[in-house]
């Protein structure tokens, strides 16, 4: 019991002067114990990825046919070979850069329009009543279904692809912002009013920061859907872009490039969600201390 009593009494520096600094061995051991969970997860993750590659390798080397046919599926080594070639190919890099640019423009527009619109709709009932029905009708239409319409609407292919990317990410952003606004604790609004805050300050100091977590959920989902929409649009109507690259590889019977295109899309999608998550940590420091 005395041990816990000292611990509860708080800082007692005089009682335990450090005799010798802990040795390197003890420090390593302590670090290991503290990070055991994370190390374990990393180790298992690495093993799982290696297993995936191994299974892929075996299925393709032995050309397994068991319901699905691996006869023409490229092996991981073949994909790596085409990757090694592609990174020196300016055309491949241009596909990637163009896709990223479309995502950047489409997604940014969606965020710049969707977030303020959601905030205003959440605050002013009339705006909500006017816009919500239209949004609800348009929302379930998948972005791919917009392709023919987009081609008619916009003078260039480039613009229609960006438009489709915009549409894909717009609705998740709008809906989540609205959801965040609807969940703002009314007691916090009252607290602000009692401290002399007027409408504008309440919007800036309470509604907006309170909705931020949901806004970022919307941005994350919106980014995912933006990639889905972009790739679909590029496959149908593009001349450049990583989606077009993947589809072209199929047409040109370059099977290794199909897998390369898919993996590139996956990596780019992952990278962009990580960027949004990082931005979220920067903007919401009170949540990252958890």
Partner 1 sequence: MSEMLASKPKGHIEVRNFSLSYDSIEGPVQAVTDTQIHVNPGEFVSIVGPSGCGKSTLLNAVAGFLKPTTGIVTVDGERVNGPSAERGMVFQQYSLFPWKTVRENVEFGLKMRGMARSQRERAARTLLGLAGLEAFEKHYPEKLSGGMKQRVGIVRALATGPKVLLLDEPFGALDAQTRVIMQQILTNMWQRLKISVLFVTHDIDEAIFLSDRVYCMTARPGSIKAEIPIPLERPRQQSMMMSSEFLALRRGLMSLIREESLKAMGGEINDLGMQGLNIELHGHSLADVI
Binding residue for partner 1, selected from 59, 78, 97, 197, defined by CB under 8 A: 197
> What distance in Å separates the CA atoms of residue 152 and residue 168, rounded to the nearest whole number?
18
Residue closer to partner 1 by CB (options 9, 19) is 9
Stretch that binds partner 1, among 16-24, 82-90, 205-213, 241-249 (CB under 8 A): 205-213
The answer to whether 157 and 234 are in contact (CB under 8 A) is: no
Applying CB under 8 A, does 126 fall inside the site for partner 1? no
Measured at the CA of 6, the angle between CA 5 and CA 11, to 5 degrees, comes to 140
Applying CB under 8 A, does 195 fall inside the site for partner 1? yes
Binding residue for partner 1, selected from 201, 270, 275, 281, defined by CB under 8 A: 201
> What distance in Å separates the CA atoms of residue 168 and residue 175, rounded to the nearest whole number?
12
Residue closer to partner 1 by CB (options 206, 259) is 206
Q: Quick one: which of 172, 164, 20 has its CA closest to 106?
A: 164
Query: In angstroms, what CA-CA distances link 255 with 83, 94, 199, 233?
Result: 12, 20, 60, 21
DSSP 130-159: HHHHHHHHHTTS-GGGGHHHHHHHSSSHHH
Binding residue for partner 1, selected from 64, 149, 188, 263, defined by CB under 8 A: 188
Site string for partner 1, 259-288 (x = CB under 8 A): -------------------------xxx--
Residue closer to partner 1 by CB (options 100, 284) is 284
Q: Which of residues 224-253 bind partner 1 (CB under 8 A)?
A: none
3-state secondary structure of 14: coil
Could you tell me the smallest distance in angstroms from the CB atom of residue 216 to partner 1?
13
Applying CB under 8 A, does 209 fall inside the site for partner 1? yes
Size of the site for partner 1 (CB under 8 A): 23
Work out whether the CA dihedral 81, 87, 92, 98 comes out positive or negative: positive
Q: Report the interface residues with partner 1, using CB under 8 A.
A: 185, 187-188, 190-198, 201, 205-206, 209-210, 212, 284-286, 289-290
């Amino acid at each position: 019991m005395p041990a816990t009593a000292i611990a509860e009494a708080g800082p007692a520096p005089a009682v335990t002067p450090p005799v010798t600094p802990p040795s390197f061995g003890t420090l390593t051991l302590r670090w290991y114990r503290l990070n055991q969970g994370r190390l374990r997860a990393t180790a298992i993750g690495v093993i799982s990825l290696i297993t995936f590659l191994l299974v892929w390798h075996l299925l393709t080397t032995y050309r397994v046919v068991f319901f699905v046919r691996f006869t023409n599926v490229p092996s991981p080594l073949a994909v790596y070979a085409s990757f090694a070639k592609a990174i020196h190919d300016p055309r491949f890099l241009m596909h990637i850069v163009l896709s990223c640019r479309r995502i950047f423009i489409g997604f940014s527009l969606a965020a710049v329009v969707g977030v303020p619109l959601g905030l205003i709709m959440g605050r002013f009932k009339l705006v909500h009543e006017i816009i919500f029905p239209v949004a609800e009708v348009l929302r379930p239409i998948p972005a791919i279904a917009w392709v023919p319409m987009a081609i008619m609407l916009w003078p260039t292919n480039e613009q229609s692809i960006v438009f489709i990317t915009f549409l894909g990410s717009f609705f998740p952003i709008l809906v989540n912002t609205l959801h965040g606004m609807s969940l703002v604790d009314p007691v916090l609004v009252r607290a602000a009013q009692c401290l002399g805050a007027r409408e504008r300050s309440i919007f800036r100091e309470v509604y907006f920061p309170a909705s931020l977590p949901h806004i970022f959920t919307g941005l994350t989902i919106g980014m995912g859907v933006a990639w889905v929409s972009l790739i679909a649009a590029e496959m149908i109507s593009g001349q450049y872009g990583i989606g077009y690259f993947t589809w072209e590889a199929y047409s040109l019977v370059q099977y290794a490039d199909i897998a390369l295109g898919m993996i590139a899309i996956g990596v780019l999608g992952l990278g962009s969600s990580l960027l949004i998550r990082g931005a979220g940590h920067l903007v919401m420091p009170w949540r990252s201390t958890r």
